[in-house]
Amino acid sequence: MSETTSRFVVSADWVEKKIGTDGFKVVDASWYLPAHKRDAKAEYAAGHVPGAVFFDQDAIADHSTGLPHSLPSPELFASEVGKLGISDTDTIVVYDGLGFFSAPRVWWMLRTMGAQDVYVLDGGLDGWKADGRAVESGTPTPAAAVFKAKFRSDKVIPFETMRAIVDDGSAQIADARGAGRFTGDEAEPRAGMRSGHMPGARSLPATSLSANGRFKDIATLKTMIADAGIDLSKPVVTSCGSGVTAAVIMLALQSVGHDDNALYDGSWSEWGSRDDTPVVTGSAEPVKA
């Protein structure tokens, strides 16, 4: 870690030295879209970072919303994460296979629920394996721990608040989906959803914020955020398809020192599937001077 890189991103060398030390936990937060043609659970069982536990984003969720992997209640989150052997006072490193796809979602969840020392592994599991580092197989059962949740509701945007933000422009909206889905030129992967974006939203694809599994440096992140038409002196709400990759933008914003941000948990799965929400197609509106 240095002044040129995110304070929330850690190297494989650093993680390798910390494995097995008291209060240090590693979390495999891999989750994939059907297009990836990867099975996160099977890959975890076949080989994961030594000592890592598997965080199932579809299981540790609020299933009452009808939306994919919604943020669970603090009580449920604390119970399930405690079963994984993780305490809110631990130093926690989260990773996924690709590097910066689904891991930032669990990084955001842990921090939103009160954990302080939470990081993302640069390069992900794919990079770890490519370096020839040790992995272990199987599905171990960790000793339970106590996770005391301290929920930060200011980091989560519900639908009614999102609707008000779109209506009054009280916060900027950063959309992490690919450009084609943002403009409406590409269909949504989930059936029954309109294509396009929320009025006033800016396109900042999550996949653009890393390269070859490595998170981009601070200067580059600042430039990309500015080029997307996002003013770092103003509040930002992030969104994506289902609330997963919106957290990649959260990671980028907080990495460059922007703290007035929150994630719209329902994201396009909620907004795009309703018939009472405004949807815009085409490129984002020009930035106002």
CATH number of the domain where residue 83 is located: 3.40.250.10
CA dist list (Å): 38 to 35, 43, 114, 157, 205: 8, 8, 31, 30, 21
**104 vs 190: which has the higher pLDDT:** 104
In a domain, 161, yes or no: yes
Q: Is the same domain home to 74 and 115?
A: yes
Does pLDDT of 288 surpass 80? no
Residue 79: active-site member: no
Mean pLDDT value of segment 73-84:
98
Q: Is the same domain home to 18 and 116?
A: yes
Q: Is the same domain home to 251 and 263?
A: yes
| CA of residue 232 relative to chain centroid, distance | 19
Closest-CA residue to 119 (of 254, 246, 245): 254
189 falls in which pLDDT band (50, 70, 90)?
confident
Catalytic residue among 52, 106, 240, 246: 240
Select from 151, 185, 219 the last residue of a domain.
Answer: 151
Mean pLDDT value of segment 156-161:
98
Q: Is the same domain home to 162 and 94?
A: no
Q: Which residues constitute the domain of residue 249?
A: 154-271
- pLDDT, tens digit (0-9, with 9 covering 90-100), for 233-260: 999 999 999 999 999 999 999 999 999 9
Contact call for residues 143 and 206 (beta carbons, < 8 A): no
2 falls in which pLDDT band (50, 70, 90)?
low
- pLDDT, tens digit (0-9, with 9 covering 90-100), for 105-123: 999 999 999 999 999 999 9
